[in-house]
Structure 1
Amino acid sequence: MKTTNESPHLAALLLFATGILAGFFALATAVKAQETGSERLFQQRCGSCHSLQIGQNGIGPHLAGVIGRAAGSIEGTRYSDAMRDSGIVWDNRSLDTFLAAPHEVVPGTRMTVTVPDDTQRAAIIDYLENQ
């Protein structure tokens, strides 16, 4: 036989569980929005010259697997001598520095786009790293 004291506890438990689920859905939505924002930022800032598909070079090289790759190393891509001879191996730090000021990092590079905003650079690099 149930007592009337169980109803408030059950209601509180259901309310708590609903709150937890709502929090998870809100977090998942925020993460998806961030991913979408990073993708959109990549497309806006980088996508007109670079692809994320291996072998699909545009004005610049494809950026699939760019983290850990030596700069100027993709066959069939027109690199400046400066980029080919830079000795850079792309990682988060080198990409961050390069995107902020390409011509300071590699004088003579053909890269014309800069990304001066720290947050935007971090989002682009994170997006590249997770492709």
Structure 2
Amino acid sequence: MIARRIAIATLTPFFLVPLPAAAQQAAPDGERLFRTRCASCHSTDPGQNRIGPHLAGVLGRDAGSIDGARYSQALKAADIVWDEATLDSYLADPRGRVPGTTMTVALRNDSERAAVIAYLRDLPAAK
């Protein structure tokens, strides 16, 4: 019992020391964010469209161009080729970037958007 109290008293100060800011706010994980924020509507598997189109090979693709995917007329008519900058502006405010789009989910946090875009960039290209 005494040894236990000594161990607790010895270790307690280590638990009270705050972690460095970098450790407290670890970099967002793009795949995890995609799964929690995007995967209910989008797949990363080529040909697997959900409510939104699959996002495999999205970079370099014309907006509204996946056969069999449901798009709003606004997105079909938008003159957008998806690159990191256009994805960033669209994900930050879909309805502001393309008025009339049916996408309602916005990623307002810059680092979360960057992580999701990096995840999409690193996906295998669609075949």
Q: TM-score if structure 1 supplies the norm length? A: 0.72
RMSD: 1.4
- Quote the residue 2:103 is aligned against: 111
Pairing of 1:31-50 with structure 2 (within 5 A): 37-50=29-42
| Runs of 4+ more than 3 Å apart | none
Deviation at 1:52, TM superposition (A): 0.4
Where 2:70 maps in the other structure, the secondary structure is coil
- Quote the residue 2:117 is aligned against: 125
Deviation at 1:78, TM superposition (A): 1.2
| Equivalent-residue separation in structure 1 for 2:68 and 2:30 (angstroms) | 28
Equivalent of 1:89, from 81, 90, 100?
Answer: 81
Structure 2, unpaired ranges of 5+: 1-25
Partner amino acid for 1:69?
R
- Quote the residue 2:68 is aligned against: 76
| Equivalent-residue separation in structure 1 for 2:65 and 2:108 (angstroms) | 26
- Quote the residue 1:63 is aligned against: 55
Larger Rg: 1
The structure showing larger relative contact order (alpha-carbon pairs under 8 Å, at least 6 residues apart) is 2
Aligned sequence identity (%): 57
Q: TM-score if structure 2 supplies the norm length? A: 0.74
> Size of the alignment, in residue pairs?
98
Deviation at 1:130, TM superposition (A): 0.2
Deviation at 1:34, TM superposition (A): 6.0
State the Cα deviation string for residues 32-57 of structure 1 (Å, max 9, x = none). Answer: x968x221111111110000001100
| Equivalent-residue separation in structure 1 for 2:61 and 2:79 (angstroms) | 11
